[in-house]
Amino acid sequence: MSNLTLIETHNVYPDCVFLELEIQTKDEQILDLYLTMKFNEQWTDLCGGRVKFGLKGGELKLTLSNCIFSQNYLIVHDDFQIDVSPDHLSYYFTGKEITVLKSSLNKVKLGTLNLTNNPCSLTATFKPSLVNISLTDAEGLWKHDITPNKHGILDRKIALFLLENRFQPYLSYSKIGSENVTSNENIPEQNNENKVQEVITKICTATTNNLLELADLAGLNPCQDFAGANFLATNLSGLDLSGTNLEYINLRGAVLTDTDLSDSNLSHAKLSGADLSGAFLENSNLSYADFHCASLALVNLIGANLTGAILTETNLINTNFSSANLENAIFANNPGISDSLKASLLARGAQIK
């Protein structure tokens, strides 16, 4: 029963993600499963130009037939974290920094297969979500002097296009099984480029620079499509973004004065150098967000979750931390911190360097 072979492997963008499975027989019914994965950036043609993209993470999912899989729950890597879901036989890759993955796993043991009947097979698929996709360069699609707001919206629209049209149903696929197992996978098609070109033209010629108005022109839903976006140096001043999912967003150097971010998810957001003076952040999730050298002056953080957030050299003049979760939040060299506030922060689990 242990005569399993590689049925098929398909890597849609092999420079970006390369997946390979290998099995080693222990006895007639028990086999060890090993994984090799390589990550990097890759160019792809689009609308007469091209874009370079990479991933900040993704999900490796296993599907079994007539076999039982015992997982390896602890896989350690310097560049990314791997979380194991035993219920769904999934491995979630997350970069430890908000940068694209440029690293590899080489023949790491995923676990052990116990074959129970014939025919038996195991299928592995890897795919990202929108939050995982990062565009790192573009050529021949728009002028380089467009505003950061327009650039950020186009970046997100193209990432969504890649996810829906070129990364489905997977980016990488591999199947091993008995000799009588066949593959019926179809290679994803590339289409709908004309719709992307229409959006590029709309955004580049738009008279508005309002981020929400540009998002509407591009057909983006701010409540869900801004997660993981690259909004470097954008201007979101005074916008209503309450209740939106902005996890892993890059807002370095952005202007967010008087912006309503209450009840929003900014977990792992990059906000270094951003101006959030007067912003509304009540009950927002700011866990592990980076506010280095940002301004939170006059900001109300009542009920906010700042677990693990970095607030080094952050302007905290007249900042209200009432009822905020400050466990392992890191403070250092902060304008606006009095001795009494320091004592309160330390008592609530914060670290002050």
Going from the first residue of the chain to its last (353 residues), give the mean pLDDT of each consecutive group of 10, the final group possibly shorter.
79 96 83 92 96 94 88 74 76 78 90 86 93 95 94 97 94 85 55 90 97 98 95 97 96 98 97 98 97 97 97 96 96 93 94 93
Adjacent-strand bridge partners of 172 = 11, 126
Quick one: tokens of 52?
């370079």
Sign of the alpha-carbon dihedral angle for 124, 128, 132, 137: positive
Distance, in Å, from the CA atom of 268 to the CA atom of 310, rounded to the nearest integer, reads 10
Residue type, 272: S
Quick one: tokens of 70?
């015992």
- The closest alpha carbon to 66, from 21, 32, 113, belongs to 113
Write down the domain spans for the chain.
5-177, 231-353
Residue type, 352: I
Please give the CATH architecture assigned to the domain spanning 231-353.
3 Solenoid (2.160)
Tell me if 288 sits within 8 A of 309, measured CB to CB: yes
Task: Identify the pLDDT of residue 2.
Answer: 56
Q: Which residues contact 106 (CB under 8 A, 6 or more apart)?
A: 36
Task: Identify the pLDDT of residue 3.
Answer: 73
Which residue is it, tokens 């874009």? 51
Contacts 24+ apart (CB under 8 A), 302-307: none
Task: Identify the pLDDT of residue 97.
Answer: 66
Task: Identify the pLDDT of residue 293.
Answer: 98
Quick one: tokens of 327?
């466990």
Tell me if 353 sits within 8 A of 292, measured CB to CB: no
Tell me if 81 sits within 8 A of 103, measured CB to CB: no
CA dihedral defined by 303, 309, 312, 316, rounded to 10 degrees?
A: -10
Which residue is it, tokens 């996709």? 133
